[in-house]
């Protein structure tokens, strides 16, 4: 059952979800150490108990930057032995979202969104976007 649980978080006003199995840790946002020639969406690197981990501004990378200036949390995700931190506006809750229930994005969504998202699911009066972890890592490592 744990595999089906999703972590719901927000970027600005929009809510997103990620399978909880990919989440390694959640921390309060802190400033990263910047480095030269980094892509604009990479804030720098942070130290998490002795590991140096890149910090990526998720909203900026996915191109949903409106209202996303406030960054309160970092979600550390693990994928293929690499750990990357993603700064998000807030972590909302953990809920049971069924991957099957996600509907495809509308045709005219931006290429970035289509690349990073699996689909949309309505939950009560909310609309939740499912984030593709593989795409997130691929995008971050470019």
Partner 1 sequence: MSTEDFTDDMDAIRLIFFDECDEQLTLLEEELTALEDEPESGEKINTIFRCVHSIKGGAAAFGMEDLVRFSHLFESVLDRFRSGELSVNAESIRVFLKCKDALSDIVSDFKNGASTYDVAPEITAELEHYLGSDASEPEPASEKVGTEDIFGMSFAPVKIEIDAPSEQQFSIVLIVSPEFYERGDDIRNILMALEGLGQIKVQVDSDAVPLLADISPGQSYLTWQILLTTEKSRESIDEIFDWCGDDLHAVITSVPEEPEQTTIPSAPVAEEKTDPQVRKGAERKDSATVRVDIQRIDKLVDLIGELVINQGAIQSQMRRNKVPGDSFLGNVVTAQEQLIHELQENVITMRAYPIKTVFQKLGRVVRETARLTEKQVRLVLEGEDTEVDRSILEKLSDPLTHMVRNAIDHGIESPEVRAQAGKDPEGLLRLRAFQRSGRIIVEIQDDGAGLDPDRIYEKAVEKKIIEKGQRLDREEIYSLIFEPGFSTVAEVTDVSGRGVGMDVVKQSLQQINGRIFISSSKGKGTIFSISLPFTLSVIEGIIFKSEGQDFVVPINNVSETIIFDNSKAFHIGEGKYGYPYRDGYLSVIYASDLLGIPSDKKNQKICFVIENENEEKMAFIVDKIIDQSRFVVKNLEDNYRKIACFSTATILGDGNVAFILDVEFLFGELLKKRESSLEERV
Contact positions vs partner 1 (CB under 8 A): 32-38, 44-47, 49-54, 82-84, 141
State the minimum distance, in angstroms, from the CB of residue 111 to partner 1. 23
- What's the min distance (Å) between Cβ of 78 and partner 1? 9
Contact 123, 102 (CB under 8 A): no
Q: Write down the least CB distance from residue 124 to partner 1, Å.
A: 36
Report the residue count for the chain: 142
Per DSSP, the residues of 63-98 read T--TT-----EEEEEEETTEEEEEEESEEEEEEE--
Residue whose CB is less far from partner 1, 3 or 31: 31
Of 34 and 122, CB closest to partner 1: 34
User: CB–CB of 83/90 below 8 Å?
Assistant: no
Residue whose CB is less far from partner 1, 35 or 94: 35
């Amino acid at each position: 059952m744990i595999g089906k649980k999703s972590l719901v978080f927000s970027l600005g006003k929009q809510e997103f979800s990620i399978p909880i199995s990919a989440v390694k840790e959640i921390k309060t946002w802190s400033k990263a150490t910047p480095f030269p020639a980094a892509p604009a969406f990479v804030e720098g690197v942070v130290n998490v108990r002795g590991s140096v981990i890149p910090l990526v501004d998720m909203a900026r990378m996915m191109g949903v930057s409106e209202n996303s200036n406030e960054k309160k949390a970092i979600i550390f995700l693990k994928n293929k032995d690499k750990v990357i931190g993603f700064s998000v506006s807030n972590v909302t809750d953990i809920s049971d979202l069924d991957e099957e229930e996600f509907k495809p994005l509308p045709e005219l969504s931006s290429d970035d969104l289509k690349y990073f998202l699996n689909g949309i699911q309505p939950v009560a009066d909310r609309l939740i976007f499912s984030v593709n972890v593989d795409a997130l890592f691929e995008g971050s490592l470019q």
